[in-house]
Structure 1
């Protein structure tokens, strides 16, 4: 199985693997793909993809291009592409993503903004747009 794939059948190597016996405290950032099997506390950021494996625990705000979660996140998430929550995933925090996939059994406790990560519209702005459309 590919770690991350941009196309079906292609494999993209991980730049950083946080092993199951590793615990990182502080801000963790990079430009490449990250696989988390252990624990991270602080912030976790990359311009590429993150996979949080089953049994891994991330007590941090997370930002990535694509995110695959089988473990646990306690913090807010900003995903610029697709976020996949497998059946063993637990996310306790608010999520902003373009696309989300949630398998049966996954837990998401928080608000979810989907379709335009980081772009939100207030109730007042929505009412103004609705009024303009009615004119």
Structure 2
């Protein structure tokens, strides 16, 4: 579904965490991030996130768009498109605008799909109405 967009999103990766790299703590970036290693803590970027097949993340994850092929233990918040490949495993809640899940992917948690209209409606209290009684 997102294949063309995926290729465009990761042409210029600002940060690459290789398969032999382990990061502990809060990882914050502005650009695109590719993770093939291990992260424990939190991952936040205003760019795109790609999690490789061998990657293991135990963290809350926030990104603009994401392509997940590895394993994440923690809540995932994606402002745009989220794609889970057949090898993806997410153990935590997901909030995203758009999601594509391949057969074989595992999502063990709640999934909320949001957009600006839904977020704006959540903030407005519902009007109470009295039931109409007819005799």
Q: Give yes or no for TM over 0.5.
A: yes
TM-superposed deviation, 1:12: 2.4
Q: Whole-Å Cα distance in 2 between the matches of residues 105 and 16 of structure 1?
A: 28
Asked if 1:32 corresponds to 2:35, the answer is: no
**What is the TM-score normalised by the length of structure 2?**
0.82
- Provide the residue aligned with 1:43 in structure 2: 42
TM-superposed deviation, 1:73: 0.4
TM-superposed deviation, 1:4: 4.2
Residues 81 and 102 (structure 1), Cα distance of their counterparts in 2 relative to 1, 3 Å cut: same
List, as ranges, runs of 4+ consecutive aligned residues in structure 1 with deviation greater than 4 Å. Answer: 1-4
- Provide the residue aligned with 1:103 in structure 2: 102
The RMSD of aligned alpha carbons is: 2.5
- Provide the residue aligned with 1:91 in structure 2: 90
Aligned positions, number: 123
Residues 32 and 4 (structure 1), Cα distance of their counterparts in 2 relative to 1, 3 Å cut: farther
Aligned to 2:8, which of 2, 5, 8? 5
Q: Are the aligned partners of 1:81 and 1:98 in contact in 2 as well (CA < 8 Å)?
A: yes
Q: Whole-Å Cα distance in 2 between the matches of residues 108 and 64 of structure 1?
A: 18
After superposition, give the CA deviation of every residue in 1:15-41 in whole Å (9 maximum; x if it has no partner): 000000000000000000000000000
TM-superposed deviation, 1:115: 2.9
